[in-house]
Structure 1
Amino acid sequence: MNSQEKTMLRIIFQNRIHKSDAQSFEDLFTSVMNYAEKDFKPIKPWGNIGDRKNDGYIKQTGTYYQVFAPEDIKKSYPSAVKKLHTDFNGLMKQWSPVNRFYFVINDKYDGVHPDIDQEMEKIKVEHGLEDAAILIAKDLENILFELEDDQIFNIVGMPPDPSSIKNIDYSILNQVISHIMELPIHSNEDGKIVLPDWDKKIQFNNLSDTVARYLDTACLQLDNLEAYLANNSYFVADELRDKLNEVYQQEKINKSGDQLFMAMVEQLSPKQTQPYQNIVIIIMAKYFETCDIFEEPREEEER
């Protein structure tokens, strides 16, 4: 499966996630786990005894899963915490041994309240579990794309032929840009953002003070990008990094300094307008800091 096919399948899977509540999400989770873990056994509610607080398990390792898929996770935070404890307590009374416990939440790529993670950690420590964690949509997506291609196709369907689809942009870069453009400016009310110390890298790459200010300003908005990447699968961050590095490698052949920087901005922007270019510079700031684009100063040359 190539990158474009994988991107299209990811969009299809995300649509499934956004449309899945309650039983439909549990069925999607089960279809992924049936391939991912050969010993996984799903549990379906049975009459008035229900599922005994167990939506699926791996008996050999004492690993249990419970699924929660509200229509709106942001409005369901109190019920999520309550269900976590209720389900785990019920599980402990009816199944043994419980060595690992995973509470699977359909967050629809919005993330979950940090208190839920803290409550899970309390359960892990109090009951001496080998592992316990909250799994969200991005985790299920990561598991999905570790499967064989034919297994992925069985769950999500065959990817459409890109050549037969017009006027649809399947690139990860443009998805990220579109998402960030819809968000408000980060206010930084707590004043905790610390700008990276990249003066040496700026100088080493012959970049001007103007470009340095562009990058510093972009860093103030990196929270929006980091939150998006944190709530999405590894594939998104990897594709984004690879795309920026690819454009950098292409443009640096005959450009350097500010000319190289602005050529990248132009190449990466879906439209040559300031709002799009500002978002592109935010993305570039992340990968400039992590040294995926532009050269890191070498100690011997600094001396």
Structure 2
Amino acid sequence: MDAFQTYHYKVAFALKARSSFGTAFQDFFSTVLEKTHGANFVRVRAFGSLGDKGCDGYLTSSGRVYQGFGKLQDAAVSVATLVQKIENDYKLAATHLNGIMKEWHFAHNLVDGLPTEAVLKLEAMKKDYPETVFGLVSPATLESMTLALSEPDLLQMLGPAATAEDSRNLNLAEVRAAVDALIASISQGAVQSSKIQPVPQDKLAFNKLPDHWVHLIAAGSKNAPHVREYFERHPVAETGDIVAENFSTMYRALKLENMAPGEIMDALYERVTGLGFVSAARQVAAQALLAYLFDACDIFEDHASKVPA
């Protein structure tokens, strides 16, 4: 697996983690643990009124119990409820699994981070229950575990990932298909023509994009002229402006939500590719289109000193 495949799998993982809600996250988490530990990991699920006893998975070699928390779709996280769940789930496991549990680890998909109150609760529990080793599985930890899996396992879980060679072979038919899908989804009104400016050399660094996105956009920039030419030759002259305006609007909205730069780029990428597994050819097309938009229209920022007054 080359570096570009790793970059694409980082994006695929981020989108998977953010969009796996409730039990879907617990299922994804358990699958990663099964592929990592084999028969040493036991997947656990609730059976009717019996519940899961505070255990979503068990690592037999260490007596480690895992309890997962998957954020519900579009629901704000109640800090009080989350803190109470952490302690209640531990107490359930301690009561029902006392004979086999030596460790209790809490896994979650809160990609923006745990609230301070939850961290304080876990630290307090370490003091209150010294007989148990406590641990935390964050999205970053789960990402590392996932990316350490074999290439066949990653293909099964996250789909294909474009290679460096793929990125050098842009398929304009994929660009056309992606643009057609975008145009079909956009409610069109009056469109202002985008003023194309050369991209500043330091724009990637200035916007504090994560390393994998820096590499993907830099590579996509080599294909951006083909995207520009495609828009210039499009039979509907304003197509490029419509797409640029739509992405500019989406970028501003995501920025107002205080999303991190990498998370914003993930969301813009998914706007191009759609949900689910994405072919390598479509990944390269999305990479090129985002690079073109990054270079040519108002997504992400220039230095204030470089913005015309």
In the other structure, the counterpart of 2:43 is 42
Note the C-alpha offset of 1:154.
2.2
In the other structure, the counterpart of 1:67 is 68
In the other structure, the counterpart of 2:222 is none
Q: Which amino acid aligns with 2:17?
A: I
**Residue pairs, 1:190-269, within 5 angstroms:** none
Q: Under a length normalisation based on structure 2, what TM-score does the superposition of the two structures give?
A: 0.55
Q: Could you tell me how far apart the structure 2 residues matched to 1:159 and 1:273 are?
A: 27
Superposed CA deviations along residues 35-57 of structure 1, whole A, max 9, x for unmatched, are 12231111121232122211001
Unaligned runs of 5+ in 2: 179-210, 219-247, 267-292
Unaligned runs of 5+ in 1: 187-223, 233-268, 282-303
Q: Answer yes or no: is 1:3 the counterpart of 2:3.
A: yes
Residue in structure 2 matching 1:136, options 138, 152, 156: 138
In the other structure, the counterpart of 1:103 is 106
The alignment covers a number of residue pairs equal to: 203
Superposed CA deviations along residues 18-75 of structure 1, whole A, max 9, x for unmatched, are 2211121111101100012231111121232122211001122110100111225753
Q: Answer yes or no: is 1:271 the counterpart of 2:295.
A: yes
Partner SS, residue 301 of structure 2: helix
Greater RCO (Cα-Cα under 8 Å, separation 6 or more): 2
Q: Answer yes or no: is 1:172 the counterpart of 2:174.
A: no
Note the C-alpha offset of 1:3.
1.8
Give me the identity figure in percent: 18
Q: Could you tell me how far apart the structure 2 residues matched to 1:100 and 1:26 are?
A: 18
Q: Under a length normalisation based on structure 1, what TM-score does the superposition of the two structures give?
A: 0.56
Q: 1:8 to 1:122 in 2, by over 3 A?
A: same
Note the C-alpha offset of 1:171.
5.1
Q: Could you tell me how far apart the structure 1 residues matched to 2:297 and 2:51 are?
A: 56
Cα RMSD (Å)? 3.9
Note the C-alpha offset of 1:270.
4.8
Partner SS, residue 105 of structure 2: strand
Q: CA contact under 8 A between 1:8 and 1:159: conserved in structure 2?
A: yes
